[in-house]
Structure 1
Amino acid sequence: MAKANHRVIMLADCQSFYASVEKSTHPEYIGKPLVVSGDPARRSGIILAACPLAKQYGIKTAERLGEALNKCPDLIVVRPHMEEYIRVSLHITEILQSFTDLVEPYSIDEQHLDVTGSLALFGSPEEIARQIQHQVRSETGIYVRVGISYCKIVSKMACDIFAKKNKEGIYVLPAENIARDLWPTPIREMFMVGSRMSRHLYNMGIHTIGDLAQTPLHKLKSRWGVNGEVLWRIARGMDTSPVTPGSFHQQQKGVGHQMTLPRDYASWDEIKVVMLELCEQVGRRCRDKGLMGNVVSVSCQGADYDHPTGFSRQKRMDDPTNITDEVYETAHVLFLRHWDGMPIRRISISLTDLTSDSLYQLSLFGDRDRKRELERATDEIKRKFGETAILRASSLQESGQAYERSLRIGGHYK
C-alpha cells in the first residue's frame, strides 16, 4: 500500500491488556483462565479484562464477577494493579517511538502510529508491524495486534474487525479494498456504533457498513444532524486527522473528578464530606497545571440505573479560581439547589472555561492571597510525603473517602 502520496497509519492494540500484564508478571498463571476484576467487597465486582482462555468459557468484559465464576468455577480472579499497567503502557509507547516519533495514545492499551516516514528505515508496513509485535512481546510479554491503513479510523477498524481475528494479528486495509473487505461487515461492528445505534440503523434497513456508506447523506443528517455525517464518513473511510503526539493534553478543556461511593449516601452531612474532597482534588490538579476555572459543574446519580435519579448543573463564578474553598462554596450551593433528597451513589465535580492562573483578581475584602499560599504549602507536603500526609478533619469521618482513594488509580487499587 506504499504509494508515495499515501499515509501509512497503524493502530497497535494490546490483547487483553490488564490480564496479559498479570500473566507476564506471574508466570504461574500462564495456561489458566484469568480475569482482572474490581473489588467485590466494594460493589465494583465487574470484569475489567479477561484472558483468551477465560473468554473461551463465554466470559466477557463488563459482566459481573459472579456470573463469570458461574461459567468457570476455577477462574483466577486478580485485583487490578493500575500502577503496573501504566508502567507497561508507557514502556510500549517507548518501543513504538523507536519506529516513529508520531505516536498518539488512544487509550491505555491502544496507540496510533504514523510510519509513513519510517518505511525506508524499517521496511514494508507488514514488516514494521511484525517487528513491533516481536519487540513488545520480548520486552513486556504482551501480544499486540496491528491494523494498517491510510487513516486512523480505518486502521482501528482494520485492527478491531480483522487483525484481532486472524492468526498473524496483522491486517492491511488499503483504500481500494474498503468496499470489498469492510462494507460487508455487520453494522454493529463499525467504530462508534453501539447496540442502541445498531437498532436504529436496523430499523432504517441499514444492516452492513456498506449499507450505511451508500445511504444518502441528507437522510442521515436529517435524522441525526452532524452525528449522521460522522457515521457516514466513518463508513466511507473518510478521515484526514493527523497522528498527533500529546494532543489530548494540549486540548484539555476542563479538570474534573468523579467518585463512585461504597454505599448510598443519603444525608447532606455525608455528601458534603466527599464533595469537599473532590473540590480539593480538582483545585489541586488545576494548581499543578497553572490553571483556574470560571465554571463549576456538579453531577450526581443514584444507584438504581433502571429508575435513574440525580442531576447535572453548572454555574459561572464571578472570578476564575483554583482555590478549594471557593470551588466548594459554589458546588455546595448548586448541589443543595438541585438535589431531590434521594440517596446518591456517584458524584462528580469539574472546573471548565480554563484560564492561566498567572493573573488573578485581587479582592479588597477577602484573603485570597493567604488561601493561595496555604494551598501551595499543603500541595507541596502531599507531593513530598503522599496524599494522606495532611488531611482535612472532615475526611477522617466514616463517610470520608480520601484515604481509600489514595490507595487507588483510576478507581482501582494501585
Structure 2
Amino acid sequence: MSFYASVEKADHPGCKNKPVAVAGSVERRSGIILAACPIAKSYGVTTAERLGEALNKCPDLVVMRPRMQHYIDVSLMITKIYEEFTDLVEVFSIDEQFLDVTGSVPFFGDPVTIAKSIQQKVLSQTGVWVRVGISSNKILAKIATDIWAKKNESGIFTLPKTEVEAFLWPQPVNKMFGVGSRMTAHFARLGMTTIGDIARTPLPRLKDKFRARFGKQSDIHAEVMWRTANGLDDSPVTPGTFNAAPKSVGHMMTLPRDYTESIEVDTILLELTEEVCRDCRRKGYMGRVVSVSCMCSPYETPTGFSRQMKMPDPTNNTNAVYEAVKILFYRYWDKMPVRRVGVTLSNLVDDEGYQLTLFEDQVKSRALDKVTDKIKDRYGSAAIVRASSLTTAGQAADRSMKIGGHYR
C-alpha cells in the first residue's frame, strides 16, 4: 500500500522527490512499514518489513508517523469526487474503489477520458495521484491497476477481456490477485508458475489438485483461483457494501510486551470485551457466540489457540461477555507469555428484545452501559475506564488515540 505515503507527500511538498515511508513508531525507530512511496520501493523498502531493515536499505528514508483519521478523511474526499462521475461507486478498501461508468460515458466521454478527468480532479483537491485500471469487470480492473497502472507514467491502463491471454497469462503466479507467497509456493509444487498455467487447467482438474493438497473443502478456493486467472467476474459494482449487516464484531490487540500474569491478561481481556460490546451496542446488535484467540511467544515458534462457545442468551453486556471470555481463555491457555489476544461476538441478533433473568437486573445493566457509552462518545474512549486499565497492564488510554491499531 502506498496510499498513506501518497497522502503524506501531498501534505509535505518538500518530500516530493524523497523516499517516504509511514511506519509504526518513528520515535523509537521500531515497528513495521505501513506504506512506502515508489521512490522508497525502488530502494527495496517493502510494506510490512521492520523499520530497522528499511533504514538499512535506504538510510535517507523519511519516516512519518501514521495519521489514520486523516487518511480516512482523504479517502472519503476521493470517494465523493468519484461520485460526481457515477453513482455506482463501491468502496473496496481505504485506498481502492470500484466504479461502474457505463452510464456516464454519454456525459463525460470514454473510460480513458473519464479516468484522466478523475485523476486531475483528485490531484487538484487532495494532492494525491490516483491510478486507474479499466476493464469490463471488477477483477480485471483491479488486476489492470495492480500490475500495470501503478507502474506506468500515465497511471492508467486498459485491459480488455479479449487481451487477457496475451497480457495476463504470461505473468508470474504471485502477480495474481489473491495469491500471496504461501499460495505461490503451493502453485509451484503443483507445477504452476504463471497465471496462464492456472487458467489453462480445466476446472475439474484444478479442483482435484486442490483436494489432494488442501483437502475436500477446497473446491470453492480452486474455482476462485481459476476464475481470477481467466478474468471472470460476474459481481456488480455495489454501493453501500460496508453498510451491510455485520456477521461478527471483534477486536484484536498485539501487546507491547509479554504478559505472563493472569491479572495482566484479565485487564486486556476486559478492555477488548468492553470495546467489542460497545461496538455491538452502537450498531444495535447482541451476540450469542463469543470467540477468543491468543498467540503466545516466542514469535519464531508461537503457540496459541482460537476457540468459541455459545452463551445461554444473546447479549452485549460487557460483564456477561467477559465471564464467557475468561472461561474460554483459561480453558485453553498454555501459560506461555501472551503477545496477541482477540475477542469476537458473532451469531448477531437485534438488541431491541432481550431475555430477562432472575439473577441479574438487565434493565439496570443496560442503562449503565448506555450512560458509559454516551460519556465515551462525547469525551473520548478513555474518559471513563475500569480501574484495572490504569495499571501498567492497561492499554485503554493508548488505544483511545488509535484507529485500527495506529495513531489517528
Alignment map for 1:254-293 (pairs within 5 Å): 254-293=248-287
Cα deviation digits, residues 313-342 of structure 1 (max 9, x gap): 000001000000011010001001110100
Number of the residue aligned with 1:69: 55
The C-alpha deviation readout for 1:265-314, integer Å capped at 9, x for no partner, is: 01111000011011111111100111000000000102433212111000
In structure 2, the partner of 1:98 is 84
Q: Which residue of 2 aligns with 1:3?
A: none
Alignment partners' CA distance in 2, 1:365 and 1:268: 27
Structure 1 partner of 2:358: 364
The answer to whether the 8 Å contact 1:43/1:262 transfers is: no
Equivalent pair of 2:26/2:65 in contact (CA under 8 Å):
no
Alpha-carbon distance in structure 1 between the residues aligned to 2:81 and 2:306 = 42
Cα deviation for residue 68 of structure 1 reads 1.2
Superposition map of 1:14-33 within 5 A: 16-33=2-19
**SS across alignment from 2:300:** coil
Whole-Å separation in 2 of the counterparts to 1:42 and 1:220 = 48
**2:213 aligns to what?**
none
Task: Judge conservation of contact 2:251–2:342 (CA < 8 Å) in 1.
Answer: yes
Task: List alignment gaps of at least 5 residues for structure 2.
Answer: 211-217
Q: What is the one-letter code of the residue matched to 1:257? A: H
Q: Residues 56-205 of structure 1 correspond to what in structure 2 (within 5 A)?
A: 56-205=42-191
Q: State the percentage of identical aligned residues.
A: 57
Measure the CA separation in 2 of the matches of 1:378 and 1:336: 28
Give the counterpart letter for 1:177 in structure 2: E
Identify if the C-alpha distance between structure 1 residues 356 and 94 changes in structure 2 by more than 3 Å, giving closer, same or farther.
same
CA-CA distance at 1:40 after TM superposition = 5.9
The residue number in structure 1 matching 2:214 is none
Match of 2:31, SS state, is coil
- What secondary structure does 1:136 align onto? helix
CA–CA separation in structure 1 for the residues paired with 2:22 and 2:29: 15
The number of aligned residues is 400
Q: Counterparts of 2:391 and 2:125 in 1: how far apart (Å)?
A: 45
TM-score with structure 1 setting the length? 0.94
Higher relative contact order (CA 8 A, sep 6+): 1
Moved more, 60-69 or 120-129: 60-69
Secondary structure of the structure 2 residue equivalent to 1:165:
coil
Q: Name the CA distance, whole Å, in 2 between partners of 1:251 and 1:322.
A: 16
Distance in 1 of aligned mates of 2:29 and 2:20: 20
Match of residue 244, structure 1, among 238, 245, 248: 238
Q: Distance in 2 between matches of 1:195 and 1:30?
A: 32
3-state SS of paired residue (2:290): strand
CA distance in 2, matches of 1:251, 1:179: 38
Equivalent residue for 1:12? Answer: none
Are the equivalent residues in 1 in contact too, given 2:33–2:48 (CA < 8 A)? yes
Instruction: Determine the C-alpha separation between the residues in 2 that align with 1:167 and 1:27.
Output: 20
| Residues 26 and 63 in structure 2, CA contact (< 8 A), matched pair in contact too | no
* Residue 32 of structure 2 corresponds to residue 46 of structure 1: yes
Matched residue of 1:32: which SS? Answer: coil
Cα distance in 1 between the residues matched to 2:30 and 2:295? 16
User: Scaled by the length of structure 2, what TM-score is found?
Assistant: 0.95
C-alpha contact (below 8 Å) 2:138/2:235 kept by paired residues: yes
- Asked whether the 8 Å contact 1:103–1:113 carries over to 2, the reply is yes
Structure 2 partner of 1:294 = 288
Q: Does structure 1 conserve the Cα–Cα contact (< 8 Å) formed by 2:89 and 2:237?
A: yes
User: Is the 1:273–1:400 contact (alpha carbons within 8 Å) kept by the matching residues of 2?
Assistant: yes
Cα distance change, pair 274–77 in 1 and its aligned pair in 2 (3 A): same
- Distance, in Å, in 2 between the alignment partners of 1:190 and 1:57 is 23
Other-structure match for 2:333: 339
1:393 aligns with 387
Tell me if structure 2 keeps the 8 A contact 1:296–1:351: yes
1:193 Cα offset (Å): 1.2
**Does 1:328 pair with 2:314?**
no
Q: Distance in 2 between matches of 1:211 and 1:364?
A: 64
Partner of 1:5: none
What is the Cα-based RMSD across aligned positions, in Å?
1.4
2:300 is matched with 306
Q: Structure 1: how far apart are the matches of 2:220 and 2:19?
A: 43
Q: Separation in 2 of the partners of 1:334 and 1:204?
A: 39
Shift of 1:195: 1.4
Moved over 4 A (4+): 40-44
Q: Deviations over 1:81-140 (max 9, x none)?
A: 111101100000100111111111111111111111111111100001001110111111
For the residue of structure 1 that corresponds to 2:47, the secondary structure is: coil
- Paired residues of 2:286 and 2:350 also in contact (CA < 8 A): yes
Is 1:214 matched up with 2:200? yes
Could you list the runs of 5+ residues in structure 1 that have no partner in the other structure?
1-14
2:406 match: 412
Q: Distance in 2 between matches of 1:128 and 1:261?
A: 46
Decide whether aligned partners of structure 1 residues 125 and 296 sit closer, same or farther in structure 2, where only a CA change above 3 A counts. Answer: same
8 Å contact 1:42–1:262 — kept in the other structure?
A: no
- AA of the residue aligned to 1:138: S
1:37–1:49 contact (8 Å) kept in structure 2:
yes
Deviation at 1:27, TM superposition (A): 2.0
